[in-house]
């Protein structure tokens, strides 16, 4: 059974703090993703990684960075958290190419920045 | 502009009844269309994935249809159960090479199944 886990279900941080969100998958997937989900806006891609140490900006990368030092782990970093980064953060993973249609999501981290 | 529009925005039905959710898209090029179920406070779970050549696909009580000519898809839920209460999201991929890099997400239909 594919499993994508995220380090926290709920997180409360103060404005200006550095925040780390971690994601781990156990399916040996090459591709990993970070999305945020906001009411009325749907899921938006923040960053995408297609291999260890490889990353690509998504649609809304501003204010975020990522790290992928190991294949199974993909971290999202908020360098200086702001209130407009309060959101639900979802991690996902998949195989590359034509096998990538099946995308597996973690349970999400609801981040509140006060 | 690439867009995925879903209707209705929300729906309430009684347990045991059937319902159909709609998805219209203007994504080009088109690679595949997916339906996801997302329970409140959880990540989306894939229900069906259809490529250009497929016009229907089932997963238990869920049946998705695709009309690539009119760029419409529907998700039919048969004999609804309380556990079907969730948001159903239509997603279209415009990336034939895969990698899920160019997914266009709909806003979802919120379904409530009442006893």
How many residues are listed for chain B in this entry? 115
Q: Which single residue is written with the structure tokens 């969100």?
A: A21
What proportion of chain A, given as a percentage, has pLDDT over 70?
A: 94
B82-107 residue pLDDT tens? 999 999 999 998 876 666 777 899 99
SS3 call for A80: coil
- Token pair, residue B73, equals 């898809």
Distance of CA A68 to the CA centre of its chain: 11
For residue B69, give every residue at least 6 positions away whose Cβ sits within 8 Å of its Cβ, in sequence order, or none: none
B28: pLDDT strictly greater than 80: yes
**Residues in chain A within 8 Å Cβ distance of B108:** 42
Of B62, B115, B69, B112, nearest to B90 (Cα)? Answer: B62
- Token pair, residue A39, equals 């009411």
Average pLDDT of chain A is 93
Closest chain B residue to the Cα of A58, Cα to Cα: B101
Per DSSP (E only), the strands in A1-114 are 4-6, 10-13, 19-25, 31-38, 42-51, 54-57, 64-70, 73-78, 87-94, 104-105, 109-113
**Residues in chain B within 8 Å Cβ distance of A10:** none
B48-63 residue pLDDT tens? 999 888 899 999 999 9
Do the strands A109-113 and B32-38 form a parallel or antiparallel pair, or are they unpaired?
A: unpaired
Closest chain B residue to the Cα of A89, Cα to Cα: B43
pLDDT at residue B99, as a whole number: 65
Of A19, A53, A59, A20, nearest to A36 (Cα)? Answer: A59
A9-19 residue pLDDT tens? 999 999 999 99
Average pLDDT over residues B22-51: 93
pLDDT at residue B52, as a whole number: 83
Q: Does B37 sit behind a cis peptide bond, omega within 30 degrees of 0 on the bond before it?
A: no
pLDDT at residue B102, as a whole number: 79
B24: pLDDT strictly greater than 60: yes
Q: Which of B3, B43, B52, B92 is best to mutate for the A interface (most A CBs within 10 A)?
A: B43
SS3 call for A85: helix
Closest chain B residue to the Cα of A55, Cα to Cα: B101
The pLDDT confidence band at residue B110, using thresholds 50, 70 and 90, is very high
- Are B99 and A107 inside 8 Å of each other by CB? no
Average pLDDT over residues B57-77: 96
């Amino acid at each position: 059974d594919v499993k994508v886990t995220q380090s926290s279900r709920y997180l409360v941080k103060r404005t200006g703090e550095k925040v780390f969100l971690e994601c781990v998958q156990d399916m040996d997937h090459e591709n990993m993703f970070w999305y945020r989900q906001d009411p009325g806006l749907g899921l938006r891609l923040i960053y995408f990684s297609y291999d260890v140490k490889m990353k690509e900006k998504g649609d809304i990368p501003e204010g975020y960075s990522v790290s992928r030092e190991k294949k199974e782990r993909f971290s999202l970093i908020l360098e200086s958290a702001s209130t407009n980064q309060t959101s639900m953060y979802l991690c996902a993973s998949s195989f590359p190419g034509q096998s990538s249609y099946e995308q597996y999501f973690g349970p999400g981290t609801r981040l509140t920045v006060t | 502009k690439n867009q995925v529009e879903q209707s209705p925005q929300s729906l309430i039905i009684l347990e045991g009844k059937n319902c159909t959710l709609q998805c219209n898209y203007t994504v080009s090029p088109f690679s595949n269309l997916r339906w996801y179920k997302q329970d409140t406070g959880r990540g989306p779970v894939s229900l069906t994935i259809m490529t250009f050549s497929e016009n229907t696909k089932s997963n238990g009580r869920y049946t998705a249809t695709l009309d690539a000519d009119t760029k419409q898809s529907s998700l039919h839920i048969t004999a609804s159960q309380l556990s079907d209460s969730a948001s159903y999201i239509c997603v279209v991929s415009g990336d034939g090479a895969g990698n899920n890099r160019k997914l266009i997400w709909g806003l979802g239909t919120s379904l409530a199944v009442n006893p």
